[in-house]
């Protein structure tokens, strides 16, 4: 055990002895594993010792809220710190301050309660000394004063606002003209998610109309129905397979006529990949409800291709939900900036991007409809749950989970094939239930390396039985073994339920880590 690990463990055990709930976090400040249970239950000393034995490089965080009797004011560097009552205070590695106060139930976690100031309370946490910031500086205790009562008066207006907006009862009593649409979306989401799909028209819609009568003035029936339909389309995941009706062909014919009208009008085309030849083989792009797998060996470019597909679609105004299980959101953003600027990704990581170009790149990036979900050690069930919550308030055209085997579904008492099979099944179910294409890179086994030219086959998918069966489309990505032609890449469409198979030639731009079309590949 290193000196730093011993120091971190000693601090964690010390905090625990004082009744504080603690967890290990990564350098990126994110919890290393699902941690919500420790907002209700204190970890044991044995658990804490096991954590730092398994994660010796981990930083330390204190869980805020009732469990630790703490409400913390988190002030970032250059934020206003005057006026806070003296209390236990930490100076963060980033140059800000954490003011530790006695727990106040009047406040919930709140981002930007003031400029550069957040409140951490129930279900929150703060990184604590002696953790090391990404800058290399440690978190240190700045003032070891007795923990003071929370300064409610300093945040009185915010307390009043939360009291008015956090309770559903207030919203259900009706609202004024300025907030009707926003509240209508929340109310629709509430009724739709709490009602069986079969009863949406009989219970949920009448309930929404009844709520609307209390607004001043009420929304028009057309406007209310528009909001209702929009939210309903986002929560179709509540429609269970057991609720599906048995349909005669005459009923399917009616539905198919509508589908054909949309196809002729170009409304049924899929999410574009950005590669014309690939989109042709996919009959217009990635289709709704399809589960797409990108198989490749390590270091071939699974993540790079997944992010390229996300970026290309976002350029066409499609909304992408990108689950980054292996990389931090900053790592993903570095690559996006490299795509935008066409500068070396390594230059961006080293801070060599000119400020003027950086500012322009930020403006372009902010217009892209890519949402990054950073979930260290996530399970496929957590991916589904996060997607459900996101769909209630946001549109999503494509979901990318990077990558399949890195999801941490419980493998105890199961073979690796069964564990991966369960992940594959859940991602397939996610695609069907949301009617959104789901793309998941997956690792190939080493058999491909012993074959001529290293060309992979379907059976090279690690634990491929379930993955191959569940997938609607399987891409097998490989690159030239020749150093002279190392940037030449081939995307083999090995399986395609709704279109052609065959290979598409690509070029891997090692400067930007982006894939591009390559008609000159040998």
Block residue for tokens 């399949």: 404
Q: Measured between alpha carbons, how far is 374 from 391 in angstroms, rounded to an integer?
A: 17
> From its phi and psi, is residue 83 left (phi > 0), alpha (psi between -120 and 50) or beta?
left
Catalytic residue among 66, 76, 326, 374: 326
Block residue for tokens 């069966």: 469
DSSP per residue, 318-349: --EEEEESSS-HHHHHHHHHHHHH---HHHHH
Cβ neighbours of 313 (radius 10 Å) = 26
Q: Residue 332 corresponds to which tokens in the numbers above?
A: 């993903």
Cβ neighbours of 277 (radius 10 Å) = 16
Active site residue 115: no
Q: Measured between alpha carbons, how far is 310 from 321 in angstroms, rounded to an integer?
A: 9
Q: Measured between alpha carbons, how far is 304 from 208 in angstroms, rounded to an integer?
A: 44
**Residues 186, 171 contacting (CB under 8 angstroms):** yes
Q: Measured between alpha carbons, how far is 109 from 186 in angstroms, rounded to an integer?
A: 20
Q: Measured between alpha carbons, how far is 486 from 153 in angstroms, rounded to an integer?
A: 64
Q: Measured between alpha carbons, how far is 464 from 161 in angstroms, rounded to an integer?
A: 53
**What is the length of the chain?**
522
DSSP per residue, 445-471: -GGGGGSGGG---GGGBTTHHHHHHH-
Block residue for tokens 């291709």: 305
Q: Measured between alpha carbons, how far is 389 from 434 in angstroms, rounded to an integer?
A: 12
Q: Measured between alpha carbons, how far is 424 from 428 in angstroms, rounded to an integer?
A: 6
CA 99 to chain centre: 29
**Residues 435, 286 contacting (CB under 8 angstroms):** no
Active-site positions? 326
């Amino acid at each position: 055990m290193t000196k730093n690990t011993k120091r971190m463990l000693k601090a964690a055990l010390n905090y625990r002895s004082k009744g504080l709930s603690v967890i290990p976090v990564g350098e990126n400040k994110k919890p290393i594993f699902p941690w919500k249970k420790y907002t209700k239950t204190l970890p044991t000393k044995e658990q804490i010792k096991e954590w730092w034995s398994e994660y010796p490089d981990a930083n330390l965080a204190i869980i805020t809220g009732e469990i630790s009797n703490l409400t913390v004011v988190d002030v970032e560097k250059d934020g206003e710190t005057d006026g806070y009552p003296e209390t236990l205070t930490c100076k963060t590695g980033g140059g800000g301050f954490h003011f530790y106060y006695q727990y106040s139930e009047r406040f919930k976690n709140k981002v930007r309660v003031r400029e550069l100031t957040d409140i951490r309370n129930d279900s929150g946490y703060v990184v604590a000394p002696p953790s090391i910031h990404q800058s290399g500086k440690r978190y240190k205790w700045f003032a070891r004063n007795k923990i003071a009562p929370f300064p409610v008066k300093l945040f009185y207006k915010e307390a009043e606002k939360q009291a008015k907006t956090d309770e559903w009862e207030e919203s259900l009593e009706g609202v004024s003209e300025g907030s009707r649409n926003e509240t209508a979306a929340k109310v629709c989401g509430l009724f739709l998610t709490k009602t069986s799909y079969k009863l949406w028209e009989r219970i949920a819609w009448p309930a929404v109309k009844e709520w609307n009568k209390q607004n001043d003035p009420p929304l028009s029936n057309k406007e209310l129905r528009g909001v209702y339909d929009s939210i309903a389309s986002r929560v179709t995941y509540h429609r269970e397979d057991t609720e599906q009706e048995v349909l005669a062909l005459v009923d399917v014919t009616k539905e198919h006529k509508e589908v054909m009208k949309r196809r002729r009008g170009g409304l049924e085309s899929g999410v574009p990949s950005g590669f014309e030849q690939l989109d042709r083989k996919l009959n217009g792009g990635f289709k709704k409800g399809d589960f797409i797998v990108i198989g490749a060996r390590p270091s071939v470019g699974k993540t790079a291709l997944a992010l390229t597909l996300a970026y290309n679609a976002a350029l066409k105004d499609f909304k992408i939900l990108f689950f980054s299980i292996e990389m931090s959101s900053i790592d993903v953003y570095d690559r996006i900036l490299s795509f935008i600027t066409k500068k070396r990704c390594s230059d961006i990581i080293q801070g060599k991007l000119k400020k003027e170009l950086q500012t322009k790149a930020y403006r372009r990036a902010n217009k892209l409809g890519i949402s990054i979900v950073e979930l260290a050690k996530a399970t496929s069930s957590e991916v589904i749950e996060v997607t459900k919550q996101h769909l209630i308030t946001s549109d999503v055209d494509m979901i990318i989970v990077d990558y399949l085997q890195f999801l941490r579904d419980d493998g105890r008492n199961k073979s690796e094939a069964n564990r991966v099979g369960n992940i594959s099944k859940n991602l397939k179910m996610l695609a069907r239930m949301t009617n959104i294409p789901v793309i998941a890179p997956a690792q190939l086994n080493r058999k491909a390396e012993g074959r001529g030219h290293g060309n992979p086959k379907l059976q090279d998918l690690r634990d491929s039985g379930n993955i191959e069966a569940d997938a609607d489309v399987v891409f097998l990505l490989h690159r030239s073994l020749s150093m002279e032609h190392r940037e030449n890449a081939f995307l083999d469409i090995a399986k395609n339920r709704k279109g052609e198979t065959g290979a598409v030639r690509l070029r891997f731009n090692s400067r930007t880590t982006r894939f591009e079309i390559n008609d000159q590949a040998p």
